[in-house]
Structure 1
Amino acid sequence: MAPTTTRRSNALIAACIVSTIALVALDIGTKTWAEGALSTERTGERPEVCAADDDGYIRYQRARRPGLVVIEDVFELEYAENCGAAFGLLRNAPTGVRTTIFGVAATAATLVLLWLFIQGRGGPWFAWSVPFVVSGALGNLIDRIRYGYVVDFIHWHWRDAFDYPTFNVADIAITVGVVLLLIDGFRREEPAKVDEKAAPKAKTADAGAGEQREAAGE
């Protein structure tokens, strides 16, 4: 029999909404700081949004300032404009196409996760994941609607040997949310596996008891 679910309380729903708004505000606030501290207005005519130069590099809408070194050769804060998704996915697609695709994906993910949350689906790990995934999707979507690209500023690397793509708070939120979703899935599968293993044992025990009753009857 499929497990029943109970709609989550209004208090939990309100907590989810407040947490989502807070994370979106944190993302937008840090991006605004990065724009002011790590970049400046470009002088002269701005290039087309996400247009590439002759070498294939994106021509930024804002001029970059020197980055802030947090840990030498490891961790820096530097301004970047991401025209695609993770690792630059779809960065060469037209701005309108990118905004539409990412907008539909973010809206669909938000509605589905919120509906599942309200209906009481998933366990505690799933409940924790929803504000992270939804806020991350909305935070980056707001950038795409405003600019046509996403502002990134967190840069991890190891000298010249390893260079991880620059990211932002929204990306961190999505990553945390996905990890929590995976944990929730694994934790809910474990009891099912235990039940499957216990079922044959129960049948064997029942069969043995039946044989004993038949022998006693004889």
Structure 2
Amino acid sequence: MEFVEVVRRRRMVRNYDPDRPVPPEVVDRLLAHAIRAPSAGFSQGWGFLVLETAEDRDRFWAATTPGTGGRERWLAGMRRAPLIIVPHANRSAYLERYAEPDKGWADRSEKHWSMPYWYIDTGFAALLMLLTAVDEGLGACFFGIPPQRLEDYRMAFGVPLEYEPVGAVTIGYRASDQRSPSLRRGRRPVDEVVRRGRWN
């Protein structure tokens, strides 16, 4: 598929065919592409938890979504995804990398950072997985884990404290689903969001 078509077709998919697993070689490509994402100082401070078995997926949903408060319809389709990948950011990998002699921030202070690039770079990696899914003929959806459920998620999967989940990605073969109400807003045109030379 041409790259322009991959970008055009990318959307958040919220319903999957539960009877079609993602082939192992495709899972490998999703992860191989994710680690091609840019990272500050080539820190590569990310980690990916791959959940493929029904048991692991059920444990993920139990830990992250009890008491969903009216979101059951949305979750019904999401829970059919045969694959969940949780990208994590590791801040300490960045602080350690930038303490090395070629960077020189030996105090490992976050005050040197204008933005938390450990989250941004992990987001880049997640986006590459979303685009790879489209290229492979799959659907995918990136979504957040509620903050009040993070401790349960960590406990369920033994995630070390230095790894922070930036969200989760469901992946699988798309099934028909309802058009998201958010899409009614329409895509903002380029001339509304781009400024050239000066902001005003």
Shorter chain as denominator, the TM-score bin is: under 0.3
Name the structure, 1 or 2, with higher relative contact order (CA <8 Å, separation 6+). 2
TM-score by length of 1: 0.23
Higher helix residue share? 1
TM-score by length of 2: 0.25
From the CA coordinates, give the structure whose radius of gyration is larger: 1
